[in-house]
Chain A
């Protein structure tokens, strides 16, 4: 350790970065009564949304709900600051229903800032961290950080949430600037310090579309996209009445052949296609250039025009992120109906940054190589505000558990999207920025946004972020769901003429023999509410209880089958691999599998089975090997 400078102050926890991950991490540790210092490059840009102006969406909405269930902040802040809200995929099954809200970016940022400032034990500091200090022991234990101004702060743990700010590079065509998002200052020293600690970094890329002057757009040529009539809040704590307000519309328009022709004609000027960008971009959030080149047969692509906030007339052009030169951008945007006379306020650009190579994290998000150094958010190779916030909260809780000497928080793939997210980041070799998707969750029928509290609130309570009162409410809800489900299963309706009339009136077949209300509820045309005339004994129940009862009964068979799949999965998770296993002694493991297993040192058979390069046949070999060692 060089340059031992005087220690300014001591903290329990230091969080580097006040983006969506850093805010959740800092709030969590401070709420668990740990003295926490939150570093940011710019206090005016706390919880800044440098890309799209919305929170949630397919599968990301699930993450926000889970964050709330565990005691995080994102859901509450968006409930306060949203401009419009919609439940997506309502025509599909409940597993893929997802909330999405347009955010007022400035209001969101200020609301989060206010909450951080109000949090006891949480201090905010605008400064750039240049180095993470460790002791001389073999396990390299974190002891503090040093800033670029030379100040040192002691700490027990560091949570690194540097986002896209490590050695950033922004590209608009041939024009390159060495800044973070939106021209903000980048962090230039920390990457090298991390490398010196033995942390392996790689380069990722992402991009954002242009922002338009709203007064230059012709909305009459676009389809209006209003919010839902009844808004459902993100947070389980928010009073639904408080979110019913006037909403701001979004607009839908489309690219066309002309747009695509301009892109194709200029593709050699795109930094990616010209080979200037070395970072790997997200396949699932592609630039308009990528879409045009990868789907040459598609005649048009959707473009959503979304407001950036109430304090600005800037409009976000969702679906047309780009790193094309400015002149190409102007030309291509102006081919889109409604954008013919658009004036760009901010150019679209691509951004490259340093982030973590996979496989260096434990399932707690602590680095394997540096004790006490936790990592969260885009630095871990994810993309998206929600993914970042979820990791920030998870890392914050686990950093605290380490300090307290308690068991870490674990969420497995059958318990939450957060579990899927973290397991994927930790075990899989993600070659591009990782975005949450419903298809990544194999047990998604159980991981619905509507039951996030039932799945995870107890874990939040155990961690100490959910109050006794909140927990008591959860227990009451559970009890009501069980009781009502049982009641409907035991209550038989006779095949009388009166029943038949009621059912016919509801467009449903009359009964031939008696049936329970639960069985009736499985008929697609019937709902809990519609069955009221057949159920005079019914007591008044909260809407969220009824929702769970309905889903449980209506999809009972599917849920039961998925639960069987989960049972098998969990059995594998509980098959632990002893730490002293000698993979070289297992001769029938293929060489690639052996190398991967030796490098990752998975904790369970389940985890081993998800490592890239380890086939099911390898895992079967491992199982047999472990059994015969017993």
Chain B
């Protein structure tokens, strides 16, 4: 068997899109040898092996027959001071998926090089001692960061803030377990009298600490991934205008992300530090004409998927049964913001914000004018309203640590459940030897977060979540 695990690997390290430039990363013992076969300097000479470490030079990338595929910048980094700990060559091509694919094709057809598996560069970095497990997890977050918050948070985890926190909690748990064990084995010198009450205090401190982290986790996740938002309302209420406004806002990044369902398209819109994932907006737009027929059912289906509903109403029209029904239903388990829009400036106001607030307690109403020269887009108010609903009013994320990673959240949840179980055991008057079962359960769960616990499906859990070139 060829030693597959040590072969030099290559993959596209930038996004596979028609961007300005694209990078192909090559890593392994023969990275320089392999790249050298296809690199020519500006004089057409193969000289990659003479490049020093940490250099970047101009040249051309040719296929095996010597045909120039692209003009490139090539950087050489030498082991062990590279991301993977191996020799690394990065080829900066002109963007364009076709060029990138051609260059990559040449490389992976070389007998000394193969296509990297997802996460393999990071796996090698881990195996070569460049990063530890919690850092590997953070790298994953870093790469997938969509906004400044996600980026900063991942960086904060990378620097070990989360690790410190977890280590301190584990230390406390271990201390309690050790005391119980000592008392069981040496009752002469360690007394368990009144211990349950003492342990309860430590437990409630630990539990509230984890609770806080988990509470933040939801917020962290929403900050990182965006709030799934549905815009609904009657035809011509101003949904499209709102949608367009949102798209133009602050030169919003609009990306098409194929979601879990193949034909669902999400538009991600950034409002300052707040990300909105507009659900199924394409659907809404395309079915606008038929919305009367589809009626409430259609709106409901869209609302079902969302965390936030932006209900757009034309204030020149009075509410009918459907409006009232939809708002009442949605408010039961969703967050809803009512946007009172005036599409026809000459029309009379038939909906009054105050009256509506009285009719629907806790309803958040934002008034806007979407069209005309005096367009009051109301977006500042909307931003503030969303912040109130999701982030306790904070428009920019506080300088705190957020759990944004599913694996970490699950581990904290099970640690929390175990700690609560211990508290319950104390309340039920169980004897102390039962406490250690769940104390150690919590200890192990916390250990998984920082790689202090041996995990079975580690590879699947961490590295396979990466995309190809990382």
**A620 contacts B184, C-beta separation under 8 Å:** no
* Contact partners of B289 in chain A: CB under 8 A: none
Most chain A beta carbons < 10 A, residue from B133, B431, B434: B434
CB nearest to A587 among chain B residues? B128
CB nearest to B452 among chain A residues? A616
**A524 contacts B451, C-beta separation under 8 Å:** no
Q: Which of B38-46, B261-269, B438-446 forms contacts with chain A?
A: B438-446
**A439 contacts B456, C-beta separation under 8 Å:** no
CB nearest to B429 among chain A residues? A524
**B184 contacts A439, C-beta separation under 8 Å:** yes
A437 CA / B186 CA spacing, docked (Å): 10
Knowing A587-B85, A588-B128 are in contact, say whether A620-B458 is a contact too (CB < 8 A).
Answer: yes
Which chain A residues numbered 285 to 329 have a C-beta less than 8 Å away from chain B? 295, 298, 301-302
In the complex, whether A445 has a CB less than 8 A from a CB of chain B is yes
CB nearest to A559 among chain B residues? B437
Most chain A beta carbons < 10 A, residue from B5, B130, B132: B5
Residue-wise, chain B 336-370 has the 8 Å CB interface mask toward A (1 for contact) of: 00000000000000000000000000000000000
Which chain B residues numbered 399 to 452 have a C-beta less than 8 Å away from chain A? 421, 428-434, 437-438, 440-441, 444, 447, 451-452
Knowing A524-B428, A616-B454 are in contact, say whether A96-B184 is a contact too (CB < 8 A).
Answer: yes
In the complex, whether A586 has a CB less than 8 A from a CB of chain B is yes
* Total cross-chain contacts (CB, 8 A): 108
Interface residue from B129, B185, B433, B452 paired with A95 (Cβ < 8 Å): B433
Residue-wise, chain A 589-630 has the 8 Å CB interface mask toward B (1 for contact) of: 100000000000000010001000001110111011101110
Which chain A residues numbered 23 to 81 have a C-beta less than 8 Å away from chain B? 58-59
Interface residue from B126, B432, B451, B454 paired with A92 (Cβ < 8 Å): B432
* Contact partners of A437 in chain B: CB under 8 A: 181, 185
Most chain B beta carbons < 10 A, residue from A58, A587, A605: A587
CB nearest to B177 among chain A residues? A439
Which chain A residues numbered 133 to 169 have a C-beta less than 8 Å away from chain B? none
In the complex, whether B123 has a CB less than 8 A from a CB of chain A is yes
**B126 contacts A623, C-beta separation under 8 Å:** no
* Contact partners of B254 in chain A: CB under 8 A: none
Which chain B residues numbered 172 to 218 have a C-beta less than 8 Å away from chain A? 181-182, 184-186, 188-189
**B189 contacts A295, C-beta separation under 8 Å:** yes
A270 CA / B133 CA spacing, docked (Å): 50
**B185 contacts A616, C-beta separation under 8 Å:** no
**Whole-angstrom distance from the CB of B204 to the nearest CB of chain A?**
21
**A572 contacts B127, C-beta separation under 8 Å:** no
Interface residue from B5, B182, B459 paired with A623 (Cβ < 8 Å): B459
* Contact partners of B431 in chain A: CB under 8 A: 91-93, 96
In the complex, whether B110 has a CB less than 8 A from a CB of chain A is no
**A302 contacts B188, C-beta separation under 8 Å:** yes
In the complex, whether A565 has a CB less than 8 A from a CB of chain B is yes
Residue-wise, chain A 351-380 has the 8 Å CB interface mask toward B (1 for contact) of: 000000000000000000000000000000
In the complex, whether A438 has a CB less than 8 A from a CB of chain B is yes
In the complex, whether A562 has a CB less than 8 A from a CB of chain B is yes
**B185 contacts A301, C-beta separation under 8 Å:** no
In the complex, whether B102 has a CB less than 8 A from a CB of chain A is no
Interface residue from A444, A561, A572, A617 paired with B132 (Cβ < 8 Å): A617
**B433 contacts A619, C-beta separation under 8 Å:** no
* Contact partners of A616 in chain B: CB under 8 A: 447, 451-454
In the complex, whether B388 has a CB less than 8 A from a CB of chain A is no
A625 CA / B429 CA spacing, docked (Å): 46
CB nearest to B453 among chain A residues? A616
In the complex, whether A406 has a CB less than 8 A from a CB of chain B is no
Knowing A91-B431, A624-B127, A628-B123 are in contact, say whether A619-B454 is a contact too (CB < 8 A).
Answer: yes
Knowing A561-B437, A627-B459 are in contact, say whether A58-B129 is a contact too (CB < 8 A).
Answer: no
* Contact partners of B454 in chain A: CB under 8 A: 572, 605, 609, 616, 619-620, 623
Interface residue from B184, B428, B437, B452 paired with A617 (Cβ < 8 Å): B452
Knowing A524-B429, A561-B438, A616-B447 are in contact, say whether A628-B133 is a contact too (CB < 8 A).
Answer: no
* Contact partners of A568 in chain B: CB under 8 A: 456
Chain A contributes a number of interface residues (CB within 8 A of B) equal to: 47
**B126 contacts A588, C-beta separation under 8 Å:** yes
* Contact partners of B126 in chain A: CB under 8 A: 588, 621, 624
* Contact partners of B123 in chain A: CB under 8 A: 624, 628
**A620 contacts B451, C-beta separation under 8 Å:** yes
* Contact partners of A629 in chain B: CB under 8 A: 5
In the complex, whether B455 has a CB less than 8 A from a CB of chain A is yes
**B184 contacts A92, C-beta separation under 8 Å:** yes
CB nearest to A606 among chain B residues? B454
* Contact partners of B182 in chain A: CB under 8 A: 439
**B441 contacts A445, C-beta separation under 8 Å:** no
CB nearest to B192 among chain A residues? A92
A231 CA / B40 CA spacing, docked (Å): 90
A605 CA / B433 CA spacing, docked (Å): 28
Residue-wise, chain A 447-482 has the 8 Å CB interface mask toward B (1 for contact) of: 000000000000000000000000000000000000
A93 CA / B123 CA spacing, docked (Å): 45
CB nearest to A437 among chain B residues? B185
A575 CA / B189 CA spacing, docked (Å): 40
Knowing A92-B432, A93-B433, A96-B184 are in contact, say whether A628-B440 is a contact too (CB < 8 A).
Answer: no
* Contact partners of B463 in chain A: CB under 8 A: 624
**Whole-angstrom distance from the CB of A517 to the nearest CB of chain B?**
20
In the complex, whether A432 has a CB less than 8 A from a CB of chain B is no
In the complex, whether A442 has a CB less than 8 A from a CB of chain B is yes
In the complex, whether A571 has a CB less than 8 A from a CB of chain B is yes
In the complex, whether A273 has a CB less than 8 A from a CB of chain B is no
Which chain B residues numbered 264 to 290 have a C-beta less than 8 Å away from chain A? none
**A438 contacts B189, C-beta separation under 8 Å:** no
A530 CA / B425 CA spacing, docked (Å): 23
* Contact partners of B452 in chain A: CB under 8 A: 615-617
**Whole-angstrom distance from the CB of B442 to the nearest CB of chain A?**
11
**A284 contacts B186, C-beta separation under 8 Å:** yes
Knowing A565-B441, A586-B127 are in contact, say whether A628-B189 is a contact too (CB < 8 A).
Answer: no
A605 CA / B459 CA spacing, docked (Å): 15
**Whole-angstrom distance from the CB of A207 to the nearest CB of chain B?**
18
* Contact partners of A92 in chain B: CB under 8 A: 184, 431-433
CB nearest to B181 among chain A residues? A439
Knowing A617-B133, A623-B458, A629-B5 are in contact, say whether A93-B434 is a contact too (CB < 8 A).
Answer: yes
**B127 contacts A625, C-beta separation under 8 Å:** yes
* Contact partners of B459 in chain A: CB under 8 A: 623-624, 627-628
CB nearest to A524 among chain B residues? B429
* Contact partners of A589 in chain B: CB under 8 A: 129
CB nearest to B133 among chain A residues? A620
Interface residue from A93, A298, A444 paired with B430 (Cβ < 8 Å): A93
* Contact partners of A404 in chain B: CB under 8 A: none
* Contact partners of B438 in chain A: CB under 8 A: 561
**B434 contacts A445, C-beta separation under 8 Å:** yes
* Contact partners of B458 in chain A: CB under 8 A: 620, 623-624, 627
**B455 contacts A96, C-beta separation under 8 Å:** no
Residue-wise, chain B 126-149 has the 8 Å CB interface mask toward A (1 for contact) of: 111110110000000000000000
Question: Can you identify 30 A-B contacts, CB atoms within 8 angstroms?
Answer: A91-B431, A93-B430, A93-B433, A93-B434, A96-B431, A284-B185, A301-B188, A438-B185, A444-B433, A524-B429, A558-B434, A558-B437, A561-B421, A562-B437, A565-B441, A571-B456, A572-B454, A572-B456, A586-B127, A587-B128, A587-B129, A605-B454, A609-B454, A616-B451, A620-B133, A624-B458, A624-B463, A625-B127, A627-B458, A628-B123
Binding site for B on A (CB under 8 A): 58-59, 89, 91-93, 95-96, 284, 295, 298, 301-302, 437-439, 442, 444-445, 524, 555, 558, 561-562, 565, 568, 571-572, 575, 586-589, 605, 609, 615-617, 619-621, 623-625, 627-629
Binding site for A on B (CB under 8 A): 5, 85, 123, 126-130, 132-133, 181-182, 184-186, 188-189, 421, 428-434, 437-438, 440-441, 444, 447, 451-456, 458-459, 463
Smallest CB-CB A-B distances: 8 pairs: A588-B129, A439-B181, A92-B431, A437-B185, A627-B459, A93-B431, A93-B433, A619-B454
Q: Given contacts A95-B433, A561-B437, A616-B451, list 5 more A-B pairs with CB under 8 A.
A: A284-B186, A295-B189, A442-B440, A445-B437, A617-B452
